[in-house]
Amino acid sequence: MKSNFDNQKGHDERVLYAKILRLFVAIGFVFLGVSFLAYIFELLPNVVPIEKTAELLTLRASEYVAQSSVPVGWDWIHHLGHGDILSFAGIVFLAMISFFTYSIIFFSYIKSKNYIFTTLVFIQLLIFLAAAFGVSTGH
């Protein structure tokens, strides 16, 4: 069948992607679990006290920001010594995994001179960056 022409290359890309993804997922969940335990057992100080967070959970996100001192956008990066922010960083790591894996297969596609998929993956990386940095902060 005609569409099988690239089956072996497609297989290599998939296996590479699967290996990287499995590694990052394992690291991500361990980091998230440990940081969350540090948060709930208050092993580190919190930016927003845990009781206050629980009390404000019925609000909209914008109201929560207004009523707490929670960092917005990427400001959390300056507060990594706090339990709640470290736990948040664990979630951020999970949300970055697709970016990491796409970055690696981007180079794999360049190497295999598959320019259509190199372009598609590059645009996807730009979309990830736009979501993470460019277009999504603020209410």
Partner 1 sequence: MNISRYKFLVIFFLAASSAGIFSLFAVDPASATELTNGEVGPGTDKAWWVLPLSLFIFTFILGIVAIAAGIGGGVLFVPIVSGFFPIGIDFVRGAGLMVALAGAISASPALLKKGLANLRLAIPMALIASASSIVGAKIGLSLPAHLVQIFLGIIIVGIVAILLIAKKSEFPQVTKEDTLATKLGIGGTYFEESTGASVPWRVHRVVLAMFLFVIIGFLAGMFGLGAGWANVPVLNLVLGAPLKIAVGTSIFILSLTDTTAAWVYLNNSAIIPLIVVPSMAGMMLGTRIGVKVLEKTKPGLIKWGVIVLLGLTGIRSLLKGLGIW
Exactly one of 18, 30, 43, 80 binds partner 1 (CB under 8 A); that residue is 18
Q: Is 120 in the site for partner 1 (CB under 8 A)?
A: yes
Q: Is 74 in the site for partner 1 (CB under 8 A)?
A: yes
φ and ψ at 130, to 5 degrees? -60, -45
CA angle (107, 132, 102) in 5-degree steps:
20
Q: Is 116 in the site for partner 1 (CB under 8 A)?
A: yes
Distance CA 99, CA 36 (A): 23
Exactly one of 43, 45, 55, 77 binds partner 1 (CB under 8 A); that residue is 55
CB of 87 to partner 1, least distance (A): 4
If we measure between CA atoms, which residue out of 90, 88, 81, 77 comes closest to residue 33?
90
Exactly one of 43, 61, 77, 80 binds partner 1 (CB under 8 A); that residue is 61
Residue type, 132: A
* Two tokens, residue 47: 């930016």
Exactly one of 64, 93, 104, 110 binds partner 1 (CB under 8 A); that residue is 64
Q: Is 41 in the site for partner 1 (CB under 8 A)?
A: no
φ and ψ at 82, to 5 degrees? -105, 140
Exactly one of 7, 45, 107, 115 binds partner 1 (CB under 8 A); that residue is 7
Q: Is 34 in the site for partner 1 (CB under 8 A)?
A: no
